[in-house]
Structure 1
């Protein structure tokens, strides 16, 4: 459990860092963060505040018969808070080569962070929980539900003024394969019962 908690918190923190890097790259964000950014601009809130508040609101998927875990709750408090802290330290960047480097670093770090917090096995993030909850309630395939959600938040975020661009496409193409490679390496195995425990249970 200590390793899982540490990995969870590191993963969520790195996710916040990756979000800040992609924001400073200013070449387009992933669908959910396009929505977060557009909403933040409309409300006059910080991006991290919107990320955290939206995460809390999405927890309504608990009514879709999902069970939130420690990771679900930690996601709400850590991710946006870290993103705001890093954005406060990183000044805006104008040089295109540096922006491209920030984008690539952000996507790679996001994949590592995603694999880390999912691999900790302490509960999905609120947005992932929304997807799995809708899959169970509707009976639709995971791919169909995830695509529908992300297209919706992307469209709404773009209409609100969120950043859509090359980074959005790069994220869509790269994140799945990268997480697929990294997740087996960062998945914490379940504890196996010892021989003495097995005998006492028997």
Structure 2
């Protein structure tokens, strides 16, 4: 379950972002920063997730192996799934 969550969440994010139905606030920020900076999506998402992880920890939230694993892996996974989903969803 711990390994399946980032993989399934990453595929879901790739599908709904690629379908142009509107991305949520964090994903919109991720896409905007990727476009503005020219950096890889995985790098931008990693910085975002590390910031959120640090904020949660400072607010005395629980940080465990699963939190750290998700933080590190979700950017890499979305970096692969988003282009794949965009390619798969294009018609013609």
TM-score class, shorter-chain normalisation, is 0.7 to 0.9
**TM-score normalised by the chain length of structure 2:** 0.80
Deviations 1:115-139 (A, max 9, x none): xxxxxxxxxxxxxxxxxxxxxxxxx
Instruction: Tell me if 1:15 matches 2:9.
Output: yes
Q: Distance in 2 between the 1:75 and 1:22 partners?
A: 19
- Which among 29, 53, 66 is matched to residue 59 of structure 1? 53
Q: Distance in 1 between the 2:89 and 2:3 partners?
A: 28
TM-superposed CA distance for 1:82, in Å, is: 1.0
Deviations 1:20-76 (A, max 9, x none): 111211221122111111121111123232222110122222122223111110111
Match of 1:164 in 2: none
Match of 2:44 in 1: 50
- Which among 75, 78, 81 is matched to residue 80 of structure 1? 75
**TM-score normalised by the chain length of structure 1:** 0.40
Give the structure with higher Rg (CA): 1
Instruction: Tell me if 1:25 matches 2:19.
Output: yes
Q: Distance in 2 between the 1:92 and 1:10 partners?
A: 22
Over the aligned positions, Cα root-mean-square deviation in angstroms equals: 1.8
